[in-house]
Chains A and B, each alone.
Chain A
């Protein structure tokens, strides 16, 4: 055990607190609730201490030898400081919010226990200095967060939990395979040594590094919600309790992103091929998530799909960082800042959704329509999140999106200089802007429905719900919302500061001439997105995704309510009416997913059949012999009658015994039995012995024949 103890306290404290809260909760619920809030605040405090000591010394590291064999290695640098801080902050806010939200839930003790365990594990992931430690905490985190997803134990939650756990386990194992390969090839898992070790790998073994990288990308990408492993995300987030959704979406997905960034920056530093792969996956995730979100009518589901889309933005940044190589400062800064922004935004938005849910126990936007109409505070908080995620100047999301956009523009310019085809990168740029517009459109859809329109029947009831959240919850919502505003209004101080602090992690450096966020050239991108957003909202959502119900009220997607449960089936009818061209691609996608499922089922069946075959092989061989060469003879029941001779002989003897013997010599103890039976038995025994001899003889002959045959073969062969 060596190094700064602050780091291990940061990781260990939540684990200890989890047990403490659990024990307290068995005795007293109120004490437990307060203790939980104290724990998360305490964790934030500990983090503050660690930050201070980081500021003093410049770098912290901690190594615990032999723990779980290779030991755990934690360290603190700028990025980890930033993201550890975000994690602690998010847990603090959701922890404060939880007390009201979970007021009427069952099994709270269990939830809080795993809530704190996951905090410790997540902290461990972000502070980890080698991939081994990352993996260790990553697995703990995946398992413990499962309990959140299934917390209310409804069938939908259990089903979502199944997918969540399956993806987590499979992702974890594939990642482990990647670690095996990497460790075997490069000989180290320390992040700081990785780049050097990988560049020493001979070219012939380079494919192993790529194999390891793909495995790791699979594992981390699964957690990040990267296409095509995003399937758990839109299912698990809506069914989890709101504070848990905020964390799942805001921070757990980021652990996956963290892994992808480490792999990209250390293993494949400035590798163009790798960059293109990540960029491609990022673009698909980005666009696909936004597209799903447009069609969703469930508040939390929309937010979940939006998370997927924003993760796509971050991955695009990671891809650009690789492509731009040493000139990738903008991409680096954009990636990191967008991570932070997205965490904060989703914290605000999911907790706002939680406020809606704890009052109405519904999330369908047609049901909750108008809930926020006369609740200015909630409206303001939600608006801050929505505008920020939409990339409106003045809010934090704008800054990071601008940086990402600029990095794409920069690469376009670079390709032009190199005279390479740049059409595809123009395509990426336009998809980027289009997705930005779609983001704005779906957030507008939510905002209009929940906060601007009125509910036709229950508006009065909604307005009278007061207080709709208590003071703690208000605090938990308001602080991060104000934070978003502050970051957006003071980008040069706060955002640039955060980027300067953390960019060394991805080997970025402060650009020579800083980006001016509020000049026309940079505002242009945001403007285009806004225009697209308006077009999508009015030209697409209002026209195709909204209709009138029987009372003549405008509602979202009310035309197809029965499809809403089966998400695989949602899109087809909608899309076939909306846009045939897009429908083609997406439907084939859905079909392909089916095909994969069927294929897996088939393979599974085959494997089961073969296994069953192997399982019974020896038994079957034995059964075969038992039923052929070594079967038990089914003996017919033998009546002891005997042949004519034995019967006659017996009768004669019987007569003799009965009439002569018993009257003379054997008078004292006369013989009572019949000799007919005795003779018959003797005869039967004799016959059986004969048969046995003949069988044995034939068997012996058979063996002898085989022996002769073998001899013959031997003679002929040799």
Chain B
């Protein structure tokens, strides 16, 4: 009963209040009151979800669409991980938005959809079977679309449409897979380690099953920005308002990861895929994305677009970690999920703060910005170092596990290629992030210190950034609790 109540609060409260806000756009004149209200709703939602996560593992059938299709919710360790991260990022992004959205129009619409997506994500993270997962996955795509095309400029609308088309195409690939699996006895709720019978039992259609699994990986991989369906990501992220890009990059792309984990490790089972061409294809796609994303980020001049390409590359780290199909790789992938969410949220917020205060968008314009906004750029720098994976920051931990996973996977050539690509990408990451900080803090000996003006943003902006930067560092220095939790989770899957 508690579970139902908490779950209901977590999902319905933000969705309903989001609708309320949408219906009353522009009618709430007192901005301070509105922001407080939004914050309270987010806080209550987050608290409900947090309470939910301590409830112990359970499953809950909400209602039945037909005899065989049921909407089913589930709480397990994976849910805890994803829901917890989502709530944290959403509240911090919301707080940042209160300051940031001052210089955008139509903020009621923004906050309305922001809340709705929050509720949908709670539901998505708790999805207990394939149908529920798919349902909320699509819903997430649709409700997050207004965040992308918020500014309604031509560029933003086109980017939004691109986002929509890619997502829908990906989701349809996945939907096809879900149909196929349903036709092949995959009707039960998720189960750690998967429950499909081994390939031999599919007389004559084992190859088809594998093909379908690959389609689902590519389909859900669309959201995670995996090659070849990553095209929407570098287009959509830069045009969205900064806090929206942050959560898009930090959380929404990760829902693709969640879906893939649910498919491979909770439905199909890693044993079915291990050693097949699907696993190798998956690895190749992931590694290609890792390298390509970094390389493109290195060539990119627009800061937010550079960060978006970086997301392409970094989320592919996670997918690569999953694709090696062992415990170490799994831990690397899940920890990289947490660390990358933290870091990328922080980076986008810092980029947003710079845009908000100075309007500068390209990397070349950022000379001396570290003197004007030291706190912001310190956060940016710490996050950058984490993303490169320099110890003792957290990025190093996940890289270590990913490399160990790859080296222990016994996948022939890829055993080596994985770590090498990861390190090459780390090198490129250093190449595209560190110069930003260097330019910011070392403007050159001819820099005019007399004309220097402090432009540090207010606390609503700095607090989320500082929290992210601190988390990036501290999670790396003291990863014990988190890694223990992940180890527990990963051990159950193999």
Contacts and interface: CB of A to CB of B under 8 A. Distances in A.
The answer to whether A and B interact is yes
B447 A153 contact: yes
B261 interface: no
A611 interface: yes
A180 B407 contact: yes
A259 B288 CA distance: 33
Interface string A177-202: 10011011000000000000000000
A101 to B, nearest CB: 17
B442 A158 contact: yes
Contact of A177 (B234, B396, B419, B447): B419
B390 A615 contact: no
A608 B299 contact: yes
A66 B292 contact: no
Contacts of A174: 423
Interface centre among A135, A139, A150, A161 (most CB of B within 10 A): A139
A611 B407 CA distance: 26
B292 A614 contact: yes
A665 interface: no
Interface string A126-163: 00000000011001100100000010111100100100
B380 interface: no
A135 to B, nearest CB: 7
A619 B228 CA distance: 10
A606 to B, nearest CB: 11
A612 interface: yes
B238 to A, nearest CB: 15
A618 B231 contact: yes
A237 to B, nearest CB: 18
B282 interface: no
Interface in B377-432: 385, 388, 390-392, 396-397, 399-400, 403-404, 407-408, 419-420, 423, 426-427, 430
Interface size on A, as a range, is 35 or more
Contacts of B408: 184
Contacts of B447: 153
B56 interface: no
B415 to A, nearest CB: 9
Given A69-B400, A173-B426, A615-B292, A139 B299 contact: no
A143 B419 contact: no
A68 B296 contact: no
A65 B477 CA distance: 11
Contacts of B93: none
Contacts of B295: 607-608, 611
Nearest to A135: B391
B360 to A, nearest CB: 20
Size category of the B interface is 35 or more
Interface stretch (B2-10, B64-72, B336-344, B478-486): B478-486
B227 interface: yes
A68 B407 contact: no
A155 B444 contact: yes
B420 A177 contact: yes
B54 interface: no
Nearest to B235: A619
A240 to B, nearest CB: 13
B391 A140 contact: yes
Given A153-B442, A619-B231, A169 B388 contact: yes
Interface string A609-627: 0111011111100000000
Given A173-B426, A177-B423, A614 B227 contact: yes
Contacts of A183: 404
Contacts of A180: 400, 403-404, 407, 419
Interface in A452-503: none
Given A66-B478, A69-B479, A153-B443, A136 B391 contact: yes
Given A153-B444, A154-B445, A68 B479 contact: yes
A172 interface: yes
A163 to B, nearest CB: 13
Interface in B11-33: none
B331 to A, nearest CB: 10
Contacts of B44: none
Contact of B392 (A140, A150, A152, A173): A140
Nearest to A609: B295
Contacts, number: 102
A174 B396 CA distance: 14
Nearest to A169: B430
A143 B390 contact: yes
A165 interface: yes
B449 interface: yes
A136 B389 CA distance: 11
Contacts of A67: 392, 477-478
Nearest to B393: A68
A616 B391 CA distance: 35
Nearest to A215: B423
A148 to B, nearest CB: 12
B407 A618 contact: no
A689 B382 CA distance: 63
A170 interface: yes
Given A68-B396, A176-B423, A611 B391 contact: no
A66 B442 contact: no
Given A66-B479, A611-B291, A139 B391 contact: yes
Contact of A614 (B228, B234, B399, B483): B228
A106 interface: yes
A140 B476 CA distance: 13
B181 interface: no
Contact of B229 (A150, A177, A608, A618): A618
Contacts of A181: 407
Contacts of A184: 404, 407-408
Given A68-B479, A173-B426, A177-B423, A158 B444 contact: yes
A612 B296 contact: yes
Nearest to B479: A69
Contacts of B445: 152-154
B228 A618 contact: yes
A108 to B, nearest CB: 13
A197 to B, nearest CB: 16
A610 B296 CA distance: 10
Contacts of A619: 231
Interface in B431-446: 434, 438, 441-445
A165 B166 CA distance: 39
A173 B423 contact: yes
A169 B427 contact: yes
B483 A69 contact: yes
Contacts of B227: 614
Interface in A615-669: 615-619
Nearest to B162: A619
Contacts of B391: 68, 135-136, 139-140
Contacts of A616: 231
Contacts of B442: 150, 153, 158, 161
Interface string B72-92: 000000000000000000000
B326 to A, nearest CB: 13
Q: Which of A165, A180, A181 has the most CB of B within 10 A?
A: A180
Given A155-B444, A169-B430, A611-B295, 11 more contacts: A67-B478, A68-B391, A68-B476, A69-B397, A139-B391, A150-B442, A153-B443, A170-B427, A615-B230, A615-B231, A618-B229
Interface of B: 166, 227-231, 234, 288, 291-292, 295-296, 298-299, 385, 388, 390-392, 396-397, 399-400, 403-404, 407-408, 419-420, 423, 426-427, 430, 434, 438, 441-445, 447, 449, 476-480, 483
Which 9 A-B pairs have CB atoms at the shortest separation, nearest pair first? Answer: A66-B480, A611-B295, A68-B392, A611-B292, A184-B407, A136-B391, A153-B445, A173-B423, A169-B430
23 contacts: A68-B396, A69-B397, A110-B441, A136-B392, A139-B390, A139-B391, A143-B385, A150-B438, A153-B445, A154-B445, A161-B438, A169-B388, A169-B430, A169-B434, A173-B426, A177-B423, A180-B403, A180-B407, A184-B404, A607-B295, A608-B295, A610-B292, A616-B231
